[in-house]
Amino acid sequence: MNAIVLVLIGFLMFYLGYRYYSTLIAERIFRLDPNYVTPAHRYFDGVDYVPTNKHVLWGHHFSSIAGASPILGPAIAMFWGWLPGFLWVVLGTVFAAGVHDFGTLVLSNRHKGQSIGTITTKILGPRAKTMFLLIILFLILMVNAVFAWIIANLFINFPGSVLPIFIEIPLAVLIGLWVYKRRGRLLVPSLIALAIMYAFIWVGYKVPIDVRGWVGQDNAFVFWIVVLMVYGLISSVLPVWVLLQPRDYINSHQLFLGLIVLYLGLFILQPDVTAPAVNTNLPEGSPPLFPLLFITIACGAISGFHGLVASGTSSKQLDKETDARYVGYFGAIGEGALGLLSVIACATAFATLDDWQAHYATFQKAGDGALSAFVLGASQLAEAVGIPRDIGAIFISVLIISFAATSLDTSFRLLRYILVELGNDYKIRLLQNGNVAATVGVLVSLYLVFSTDGGKGIGSGGYVFWPLFGTTNQLLAGLSLLVITVWLKRLGRNYLPTLVPMVFVFAMTLWAMVLNIQTYFAQNKVLLYTIGSAIFVLALWMILEAVNAFRKQHTPPGDHTASL
């Protein structure tokens, strides 16, 4: 089958979802009011609360939520064949992710632009705050372990990507200085930065930095992980304008350019799908499709992280309430388009079915080779646009590393904030110091990624933590949907559009957690078992608190705008 058919079906579903389903939800369920005075206007302070053009806000929202996981998740899930992943990415985006992102944005907009954590505390009670912080803390620790593992892997397998990634750091600092010290405009320096970075892809191709030659095969992982952690520590305490912000900005350009190049390549090349629709040839003892597919593909279908962005910054900048549909729902569709690209790249990467089966022989091999499958497929698509295959492979790996690296930057910073907040709440003097908190965060992340609990030796921590990352992320999404559902119920609205995906996400996540915990226990993986059990208990507790809140009929305190 031609891959274009899949793209067209996917895009048609996204279009229908945005055109009809999101409109239905906006008008009938959330009843968006163009005359509602949004927090951006009501609490305008020129800093956090600033009414922003909806296209700019969409760009901010989309580039904040798009990371490496909508690429990696579908690439691993290809193990069950392309159809399950395709359906979950498309339907999950339309019926779960879109509603979740859109819903958290509207919920926050009607609650003074507060974050989902604060709103949860109000609706579910003060105990929920610590639990919420702990779940986010676990999630962020997983992000650090998983993304550091992804980047280290790519640096080792694609040594040509090292130079273009490292040249991005001084380029970002120069742009930061140019904009904030010299008050320069952005178009020209950003074009120059991107041009230099892509020129370094060619340099990297000619001069690959393969550290295996210097430190040995086994130590290469250790080397890169330590470099990444030291970088993370420094970047998390630097002022944002020095490195993080301009780096994110360069990466946003890469994201849009990468999507354009790859989709263009897809339409020119029109590759055939060689992967089976459903892999019926699963080896004995493989993880079952239900429920593990739904935690393997986290971002790209639904992700709790999106709710943090939607309620954290986007909601404070909505110019009109009706913009929420475009920013929230269409932002999720942007992420879905990235997930769809990953499904298609991995389904068309191999010349024959036998090649595909050799690559995806076991679930472990699927996990190990997910990124190389995507890089292979995507570089074929880039080749159709005129980028040579070898350089294309570096181009794609630079793209993935850039996404993963900005997620890593942000998550190190968030980790520091959360540890400081926990330090303040529980009067732990040491953690109240930002530098100490950042160091503690880095050390714990280092421990996790070096954990050999997976039985695959040093450096495999990121891979073994992927299922826990998926479950924690989905759990957070379920909790956000739950808070929206309770809110809708209190307003006397139809809450089925959020209740149904919530029940589905919770059911799949908790089921997967039980299976995972059983496996960890049977295999004597103490660390994974302990963290998995802790998250499971927190999840059950939150759900009980929520059931309790669901029964109550009162309007929560401070919710004076909720029923407007």
Binding site for other proteins (CB under 8 A): 46-48, 50, 52-53, 55-57, 59-60, 63-64, 179-180, 185-187, 239-241, 244-246, 248-249, 252, 313, 317
Q: How far is the CB of 183 from other proteins (least distance, A)?
A: 11
Decide: helix, strand or coil at residue 295: helix
List, in sequence order, every beta strand (DSSP E) within 342-393. none
335 touches 309 (CB < 8 A): no
| CA–CA gap between residue 49 and residue 141 (Å, rounded) | 29
List, in sequence order, every beta strand (DSSP E) within 428-475. none
Closest CB to other proteins among residues 252, 460: 252
State the helix-helix crossing angle for 304-312 and 330-348, rounded to 10 degrees. 150
Closest CB to other proteins among residues 185, 389: 185
319 touches 40 (CB < 8 A): yes
> Which residue(s) pair with 52 in the sheet?
318
Q: How far is the CB of 253 from other proteins (least distance, A)?
A: 10
Q: How far is the CB of 357 from other proteins (least distance, A)?
A: 43
- DSSP letter for 209, please: -
Closest CB to other proteins among residues 413, 490: 413
Q: How far is the CB of 300 from other proteins (least distance, A)?
A: 21
Q: How far is the CB of 60 from other proteins (least distance, A)?
A: 5
100 touches 481 (CB < 8 A): yes
List, in sequence order, every beta strand (DSSP E) within 353-477. none
Q: How far is the CB of 39 from other proteins (least distance, A)?
A: 14
Q: How far is the CB of 64 from other proteins (least distance, A)?
A: 6
Closest CB to other proteins among residues 143, 468: 143
- DSSP letter for 37, please: -
Q: How far is the CB of 562 from other proteins (least distance, A)?
A: 25
139 touches 476 (CB < 8 A): yes
Q: How far is the CB of 510 from other proteins (least distance, A)?
A: 34
Q: How far is the CB of 389 from other proteins (least distance, A)?
A: 33
Closest CB to other proteins among residues 237, 444: 237
Closest CB to other proteins among residues 441, 501: 441
With 0-12 / 13-18 / 19 or more C-beta atoms within 10 angstroms meaning exposed / middle / buried, residue 187 is exposed
Dihedral (Cα; 145, 148, 152, 158), 10-degree rounding = 130
496's enclosing H/E stretch is helix 496-522
In the chain, what are the helix, strand and coil shares in percent, each to the nearest 5? 75, 0, 25
Closest CB to other proteins among residues 70, 113: 113
The CB-based long-range contact list for 512-519 (8 Å cut-off, 24+ gap) reads 512/291, 512/292, 512/294, 512/295, 512/467, 512/470, 512/471, 513/471, 513/539, 515/287, 515/288, 515/291, 515/292, 516/467, 516/468, 516/471
CA-based Rg of the chain, rounded to a whole angstrom?
Answer: 22
Which tokens belong to 66?
A: 């798009």
Closest CB to other proteins among residues 188, 544: 188
Q: How far is the CB of 190 from other proteins (least distance, A)?
A: 8
Q: How far is the CB of 439 from other proteins (least distance, A)?
A: 21
Q: How far is the CB of 255 from other proteins (least distance, A)?
A: 12
Closest CB to other proteins among residues 105, 142: 105
143's enclosing H/E stretch is helix 127-157
Q: How far is the CB of 249 from other proteins (least distance, A)?
A: 5
Which tokens belong to 256?
A: 């849009």
Nearest to 67 by CA among 274, 258, 268, 269: 258
| CA–CA gap between residue 428 and residue 467 (Å, rounded) | 31
112 touches 122 (CB < 8 A): no
Closest CB to other proteins among residues 217, 424: 424
| CA–CA gap between residue 23 and residue 29 (Å, rounded) | 10
Closest CB to other proteins among residues 374, 412: 412
Closest CB to other proteins among residues 186, 544: 186
Closest CB to other proteins among residues 312, 478: 312
303 touches 378 (CB < 8 A): no
Closest CB to other proteins among residues 370, 414: 414
| CA–CA gap between residue 171 and residue 177 (Å, rounded) | 10
State the helix-helix crossing angle for 304-312 and 98-109, rounded to 10 degrees. 30
State the helix-helix crossing angle for 330-348 and 54-65, rounded to 10 degrees. 40
Task: Let me know how long the chain is.
Answer: 564
